[in-house]
Structure 1
Amino acid sequence: MIEAAVHLAAQPRLDTLVTELHTESLRLRTDYAGTAWLGDRPAPDSGLTGPDYTRRTVDAQLFLPDTHWYDVDALDDVEFQVSAGLLQVAATARQSQGLVGALAEPTVDFFEHPQGDPGVGICLHLRGEIWSNLGVSYRVTVLCRREALLRVGPGADDDGAVDDGDEAA
């Protein structure tokens, strides 16, 4: 549930193969990053959002727009890192900084494809209460076995728009 519009703008996803230190096995490392705008999107000329200074509840699980699709049975040793940071606090109608409120520690989890396609994708979970429009930058790192990847997710261009993905070989 969220009482504010959410707009996700993905940065280009980074996919690399890394060697696990202790076993020397190859693992897929995927870094997802972007911005979640809660409330209004910022104006392109100033970077500021509107002064909608109202209290809103945030409890949303947001599919990352560029998520890969994974085989749930091959994710028994998956590892995550997730971080989020506040980008902007909108000014109030009186041109003063508004109260932010609070967002709890972000979490990620796998969820089934919304249209019923095979595999699970990554969801970012944001929760808390906010008083303003704001932007949250996010970074999610997933480390798993290569065979866990079913399909490559769509890629983001320089503007955060998401292109159709290619099938994994």
Structure 2
Amino acid sequence: MTDADVHLVAQPRLDTVVTDFYIDARRLRSDYAGMAWIGDRPDAESGQLGPDYRQRNVESQLFLPDTHWYDLDRLDDVEVQVSVGLLQVAGTALRTQGLVGIVTEPVAEFFEHPEGLPGVGLCLGLRGQIFSNLGLSYRVTVLCAPEAVLRRGETPQPDEESEESDSAG
């Protein structure tokens, strides 16, 4: 159960072909990055998050908006790395810095297409308990055989980003 909205705002995905050092094989490296605003979005003018200071549970599995769609049978040697960093803790209504709480177990997992199309896409999973609004940066790196990609992911345009993250929360 999630008591806090989570809004993803993706940066452009970077795709590069690299050579695996140990086996001299071509691999596709896809870097997905962006922001996850938890609880509320920052004010467009000030950049500050609101002082909605209350305890909320966070348990979200959100498709990365620019995910490639992968053939599950060709992901036997896939490597996935995820990192998340805290960017902002909102002040409280009393003009003090809010308590963060805890955001644990950031994971990137493959899930089937929500509309039943072939392939699996990447979801960012966040769990925890927060006491104020906060922002997290995320980076997910996927290393796999280039043939594992069934369909390239869309790169969201700026006006599409806000529409998708409105519907994802």
Q: What is the RMSD of the two structures over their aligned residues, measured on CA atoms?
A: 1.6
Match of residue 88 from structure 1: 88
Question: Aligned with 1:129: secondary structure?
Answer: strand
160 and 17 in structure 1: CA distance in 2 versus 1, 3 angstrom threshold: farther
- Once residues 74 and 118 of structure 2 are traced to their aligned partners in structure 1, the CA distance between those partners, rounded to angstroms, is 13
- Once residues 113 and 38 of structure 1 are traced to their aligned partners in structure 2, the CA distance between those partners, rounded to angstroms, is 24
Alpha-carbon distance, 1:157 to partner: 4.1
Alpha-carbon distance, 1:45 to partner: 1.3
Provide TM-score, normalisation by structure 2. 0.92
Alpha-carbon distance, 1:2 to partner: 1.3
Question: Aligned with 1:106: secondary structure?
Answer: strand
- Once residues 31 and 47 of structure 1 are traced to their aligned partners in structure 2, the CA distance between those partners, rounded to angstroms, is 26
> Share of identical aligned residues, percent?
64
- Once residues 156 and 34 of structure 2 are traced to their aligned partners in structure 1, the CA distance between those partners, rounded to angstroms, is 10
Contact 1:43 1:49 in 2 (8 A): yes
- Once residues 80 and 8 of structure 1 are traced to their aligned partners in structure 2, the CA distance between those partners, rounded to angstroms, is 19
Alpha-carbon distance, 1:62 to partner: 1.1
Match of residue 5 from structure 2: 5
- Once residues 47 and 77 of structure 1 are traced to their aligned partners in structure 2, the CA distance between those partners, rounded to angstroms, is 41
1:97 aligns with 2:97: yes
- Of Structure 1 and Structure 2, the greater helix share is in 2
Q: Which residues in structure 2 correspond to 1:1-150 (within 5 Å)?
A: 1-150=1-150
Contact 1:10 1:160 in 2 (8 A): no
Contact 1:9 1:160 in 2 (8 A): no
One-letter amino acid matched to 2:136 = V
137 and 159 in structure 1: CA distance in 2 versus 1, 3 angstrom threshold: farther
- How many aligned positions are there? 163
Contact 1:80 1:143 in 2 (8 A): yes
- Once residues 49 and 14 of structure 1 are traced to their aligned partners in structure 2, the CA distance between those partners, rounded to angstroms, is 29
**Structure 2 stretches lacking a partner, 5+ long:** 163-169
**Structure 1 stretches lacking a partner, 5+ long:** 163-169
Alpha-carbon distance, 1:105 to partner: 3.1
- Once residues 23 and 156 of structure 2 are traced to their aligned partners in structure 1, the CA distance between those partners, rounded to angstroms, is 33
